[in-house]
Amino acid sequence: MDSAKVFFKSVKSYSQTEEISRGARQLLEKVVAEENIKLSKRIPLKVHFGEKGNTTFIGPENFEGIIDYLDERKIDSCFIETNVLYVSPRTTGKSHMALAKEHGFTRLPAVIADGETGEDYAEVEIDANHFGKCRIGRLIAEEKQLIVLSHFKGHMLAGFGGAIKQLGMGCAARGGKLDQHANAQPAINPEDCKKCMTCVSHCPRKAIEVSNIPKIDRKKCIGCAACIAACPQEVFYVDWASTSPVSFRQKLAEYALAAQKGKSNIYINYALNITKDCDCDGRAQKPIARDIGIFASTDPVAVDAACCDALNKKEGKQVFGGFDIFDYAEEIGLGTTEYELSEI
């Protein structure tokens, strides 16, 4: 695979909102011009609305310049996201959109791509090592082009989280997230059950039976994770400990491949407010590294690799692990780690 172009704008501090907004727009213009990109009539912005209580996610004020650029060209857009696996305001569509509003994502419509409880997905064929098909949020799968806006930061399993994670995890429907994270089916804490039967009515495969205790028929269960979202007692959960980090990263890369398939995306990474844990963590975290700036490319692997290299160079040490994902992402054709960096 040929090397990819990555464009970079230095920003001294996350507090420089206008500079960030303007810089992101300049990078978008640069990528479009240099890569000769044909813009679609509709281009959703794939974002992360930030978990409730998280204070270091990339706020919508930093996307103003990009939205202005689309507005001036009369390109239809929205903020697009998918529901999460764990129990939080981001578990279901309505409360997820309410949180988006609370966090200031109001200039464009907020769209949850995988439905109210994460049940709405399209299967995208990739025929890779872990997955033949991936469950991508339907409204994302149906788009032809996305601008993927990612916060570059850490994650307990991925090691880092930029464009690849925003694609792989961020575009997967809830069942697809479960596929990546664990043994594809929820674990159960049966002693917390109050026998309300909500899970039974939400399970699309009639795989749950609640007599004395709730049980899942493992042959019927498709791992859609709807029960995790539906149960008010948090009886169903993801068994994170059963997840192998290397296998997780490979699965993440395969899902990213599916989410990208057939699309001419643009990736913009904000290497600012760099925290050890991800924006799904509902705590106020402190940045663990100095702010660097914004990176843009049409290649999700190259843009993440450029962020990692810049971070390690700036800090004088390897800050995050998990770099085996790059080799795997290259192997399956998601992108390349060979890049040419141009500062604007």
**Which residues sit at the interface with ligand SF4, rule CB under 6 A?**
185-186, 193-199, 202-205, 207-208, 210, 214, 216, 221-227, 230-231, 233, 235
Minimum separation from the CB atom of position 227 to ligand SF4 (A): 3
Minimum separation from the CB atom of position 136 to ligand SF4 (A): 17
Minimum separation from the CB atom of position 96 to ligand SF4 (A): 18
Choose between 84 and 231: whose C-beta lies nearer to ligand SF4.
Answer: 231
Minimum separation from the CB atom of position 13 to ligand SF4 (A): 43
Structure tokens at 212: 């004395």
Residue 293 and residue 8 in contact, taking contact as beta carbons nearer than 8 Å: yes
SS (H, E, C) 103-140: CCCCCCCEEECCCCCCCCEEEEECCCCCCCEEEEEHHH
| 344 vs 342: CA distance, rounded Å | 6
| 294 vs 276: CA distance, rounded Å | 18
Minimum separation from the CB atom of position 215 to ligand SF4 (A): 9
Q: How far is CA 160 from the centre of its chain?
A: 12
| Tokens 């049980």 sit on residue | 215
Residue 308 burial (CB < 10 Å; 0-12/13-18/19+)? buried
